[in-house]
Chains A and B, each alone.
Chain A
């Protein structure tokens, strides 16, 4: 079919000035000069018109060519779909699009005369590039946000290291190796592999890897450094890394004053080397990783220091000593604190005929400052242990030490010396300004020990009276701080737990083991406050065991149970 018969092509243009001039290729139509490519296709699928822009992009698409042979598949397919359906041309949905001649095109169809279809191919290459760049930026931002969130989640050095190599393997390289500053002569090395992180150490000289030594020192600031894969020592190669490394980069992790380590990223041969945008990303990643790792190191150091300093301030574990049961419980007022102004301590007797000394007390105030003074009191009492036979004298010496110290705080406390006599426990109890101990008798009655004394650390001289108490089997003496009795709460919210309720509760505790009494009191007081703020609480139970035997707790001599 000759183009001469194609005159009605222009019928789609309402402007009559656009009539074709009857040239052989249909050029001269108004779309000849259109700023985008235009193809005209007749109902048989033959190209019957193409402007200059179109032939520039699709050199095959000259009049007379079969459309499917002249244009990319996506356009031929779009044309087939269009002619196969009777739907209106500009239906809903995105116009078909694809590549041609190195450009990105969108094809918009219009009806021509004689059932022809006129394809307007709009060039959106620049838009596509901008969209791709935007998507890339968004992905990188989202990734950095994820990286930051992940890395800031843990303050544990090992977990943080694992997270770094895991993320590096996911997003940056085929394998990643994090080398931490040397601990002693060995370098801690964590390999990131697709199977997960592997920790280890290497006895190796960082000087053997170019750039590693500087990166580990964290100073002077050095950029990431590309190194020759052939120079990589064996210890740095990840386990099961198949194939030689194609590209390797050593990246310092900036630790802001704390050496954080270095990250070595490896890609296999065949895998593209790092692009500029990937290098930028790697630098941003390293900055976040370094900050997170140095924070984790600082936290670990501080936690270790705190733990060492506080070890002496924690209440000791109590146990059965020479036929006397001891149990204790402790809870600080502030959830973020670990130690407070309440304390207890046990100095076990050296032999069955000697007394163990328990002290339970309350330093005025809360938190670490009060806790430091509890440590001094415990140390002083330890030194005064040889005089424990005379409680008032011990208290007088302790008072002298506190009055003459720079501390302005004072303390109340109870001393309890306990020894097993036959199947009873004999107690000497002395209160220094402290609530008197409560005695739980076998019949469930509860008595206050008859001891009074002045508080410690205020007046130059103190007075104290010691009470002697015998515990029959199953009876308990309870030492407690006022954090228990002054706990506010209960079902109505604002009531004090009070001594009466404590005595009521203890009335149910006859014949209970010491641990059970302590648990019961702590539980009731804890349920009373039910999550509200409260003072420090400490409680110690001294119990005469109900059955005559040595404790099962330490279990050193199983023969006792089986023979």
Chain B
């Protein structure tokens, strides 16, 4: 965090009680406000921090960003509802807009400012991390085109041709979007624009960003802004002949294609198999059945993504995470193992897939002790939201 040190703001800081106005206090106050859906209190918390002299970038990254991360974590732990989560996100979004309006004050970037495009991968709904980066870049003097959530690749490319930015910052939080992210990265590069990838989807160490040929990766907005403005800037221009297939030679086995194409049928047969194993499932309501089917579809989505990047951790990580989510909701997680078994039965001709399913099974075994067949049903799952 950076605190302005000019005399005026130092005076403001000492006048304001640091315990109620510093980034830490602001974070607490903002969290309380967004959890209650109180936009008024939320903006008060943020603007008090600004008035106390906290650097606007620090407000974005050390107050709002951590609160937004906490929103996700609290949802995962079942301490807030989906509705609260959406409301909190909407409030954070509005506050970023208000903060940007106040700090920018209608100022235009300088003539020498570079232009950069910030966008989310198609199918990516979590626009807030990208939004934060966009605002940080504006604060640092960039001319920023923020295209928002889920940008179809043709729209992104048309935008690049029209505006010719120095670089694209591409955000994705959900690993199931990695194949789409790959298409976006190669298309941007083919149009002569380098790509900086960011977001949880690319792995904690950025390994999938490297795998998919991104020109750079950053773990967070501050690092991304540093990288874009750093000493070795990303330069637009021709990439060496980069063909998507060269990144992922393992795709030659067609397993990704087969599994992702047949996903609806795999879901159907897995559901039938689960009903045979657990007769109680036949009494499910339509909504319960849908949620279970969505959970199975989600498992297959992550299986496909893991096949695409050929990384077992992507799949085992998702399965153990799902088990924790279910446990947090007091739903026994052992219905996951039969689902894996049923999928393994249908996909036994695919060696990479079979290996992934076995590893996930072992990871679940290591994570918790086996339990008898479920008495209750995983009705509270199916949020389709893996982070």
Contacts and interface: CB of A to CB of B under 8 A. Distances in A.
A555 B101 contact: yes
Nearest to B176: A530
A303 B164 contact: no
B287 interface: yes
B15 to A, nearest CB: 13
B44 A303 contact: no
Contact of B155 (A338, A504, A511): A338
B237 interface: yes
Contact of A561 (B47, B155, B191): B47
A155 interface: yes
A558 B37 CA distance: 20
Nearest to A549: B40
Nearest to A548: B40
B238 A491 contact: no
B238 A558 contact: no
A309 B36 CA distance: 44
A547 B38 contact: yes
A293 interface: no
B93 A515 contact: yes
Contacts of B150: 526
A527 B384 contact: yes
A465 B97 CA distance: 39
B287 A553 contact: no
A513 B296 contact: no
Interface in B110-137: 123, 125
Which of B99, B125, B263, B267 is the most central at the interface, judged by chain A CB atoms within 10 Å of its CB?
A: B125
A62 interface: no
B154 A336 contact: yes
B40 A491 contact: no
B161 A154 contact: yes
B238 A150 contact: yes
Interface in B274-319: 287, 290, 293-294, 296-297
A517 B87 CA distance: 8
Which of A146, A335, A555 has most chain B Cβ within 10 Å? A555
Nearest to A518: B90
A492 B297 CA distance: 8
Given A163-B238, A513-B91, A516-B86, A155 B161 contact: yes
A504 B287 contact: yes
Interface in A508-540: 508-513, 515-517, 519-520, 522-523, 526-527, 530-531
A327 to B, nearest CB: 9
A163 B236 CA distance: 9
Interface in A293-322: 296, 299-300, 303, 307
B188 to A, nearest CB: 10
A544 to B, nearest CB: 13
Interface in B143-180: 150, 152-155, 158, 160-164
A546 interface: yes
B163 A156 contact: yes
A159 interface: yes
A389 interface: no
Given A511-B37, A511-B87, A552 B94 contact: yes
A411 to B, nearest CB: 25
Contact of B238 (A149, A196, A520, A547): A149
B68 interface: no
A554 B236 contact: no
Contacts of A504: 287
A239 interface: no
Interface SS of chain B: helix
Interface string B184-196: 0000001111000
Interface in A174-230: 196
Interface in A85-143: none
B264 A494 contact: yes
Contacts of B98: 552-555, 561
Nearest to B101: A555
Nearest to A300: B162
B87 A153 contact: no
A513 B38 CA distance: 10
B95 interface: yes
A182 to B, nearest CB: 21
Contacts of B89: 516, 519
B190 A303 contact: no
A147 to B, nearest CB: 9
B162 A491 contact: no
A166 interface: yes
B267 A491 contact: yes
Contacts of B296: 491
A520 B39 CA distance: 19
Contact of B86 (A163, A296, A520): A520
Contacts of A491: 264, 267, 290, 293-294, 296-297
Interface residues of B, number: 60
Interface in A310-344: 335-336, 338
Contacts of A154: 160-161, 164, 191-193
A492 B154 CA distance: 28
A153 B190 contact: yes
B40 A547 contact: yes
A511 B36 CA distance: 10
Given A553-B98, A562-B44, A490 B86 contact: no
B384 A512 contact: no
Contact of B87 (A146, A150, A513, A526): A513
A159 B236 contact: yes
A516 B34 CA distance: 13
Considering residues B123, B125, B162, B238, which has the most beta carbons from chain A within 10 angstroms of its beta carbon? B238
Contact of B160 (A156, A515, A554): A156
B159 to A, nearest CB: 10
A511 B83 contact: yes
A493 interface: yes
Given A555-B98, A558-B102, A303 B162 contact: yes
Contacts of A530: 123
A69 interface: no
B101 to A, nearest CB: 4
Nearest to B163: A156
A494 B294 CA distance: 13
A558 to B, nearest CB: 6
Contacts of A510: 83
Contacts of A547: 38-40
B320 interface: no
A555 B87 CA distance: 19
A504 B286 CA distance: 12
A549 B238 contact: no
A268 to B, nearest CB: 25
B374 to A, nearest CB: 19
Nearest to B180: A531
Most central of B39, B191, B265 by chain A CB within 10 Å: B39
B158 A303 contact: yes
Interface string B2-32: 0000000000000000000000000000000
Nearest to B42: A552
A55 interface: no
A153 B194 CA distance: 13
Which 10 interchain pairs have the tightest Cβ spacing? Answer: A493-B264, A555-B98, A156-B164, A491-B297, A516-B90, A491-B293, A155-B161, A150-B238, A516-B86, A555-B101
Interface of B: 37-40, 43-44, 47-48, 51, 81-83, 86-87, 89-91, 93-95, 97-99, 101-102, 123, 125, 150, 152-155, 158, 160-164, 190-193, 235-238, 241, 263-265, 267-268, 271, 287, 290, 293-294, 296-297, 384
6 contacts: A159-B192, A491-B267, A492-B268, A493-B265, A512-B86, A554-B101
Interface of A: 146, 149-150, 153-159, 162-163, 166, 196, 296, 299-300, 303, 307, 335-336, 338, 490-494, 501, 504, 508-513, 515-517, 519-520, 522-523, 526-527, 530-531, 545-547, 549, 551-556, 558, 561-562
Given A153-B190, A552-B40, 6 more contacts: A156-B162, A159-B164, A303-B162, A492-B293, A493-B263, A512-B87
